[in-house]
Amino acid sequence: MILMILIVTLFKEAIDLKLTTPLDLAYPGASIALIALAIYFSHAAESGTPVNQARMLL
């Protein structure tokens, strides 16, 4: 539930973001990648997959 709120808040802020440099685009991209990684590990934990085995899937 918290991850869903984080995703919605991130995209609300991304709509109002003023892109002036390439680095301004890299920050939201990195944020999306980190959220995707958090969702991946949370699903791995829910399915009972050990974290070491989940890392091997990356």
pLDDT tens figures, 12-44: 988 888 889 999 889 989 999 999 898 888 887
The structure tokens listed for 32 are: 């999306």
- In the chain, domain spans: 2-57
The 10 Å CB-count burial string (b at 16+, else e) for 6-42 is ebeeeeeeeeeeeeeeeeeeeeeeebeeeeeeeeeee
User: Could you tell me which of 7, 49, 26 has the C-alpha nearest to residue 58?
Assistant: 49
**Residue 57 confidence class, pLDDT cut points 50, 70, 90:** low
In the 8-state DSSP scheme, what is residue 47? T
pLDDT the model gives residue 30: 93
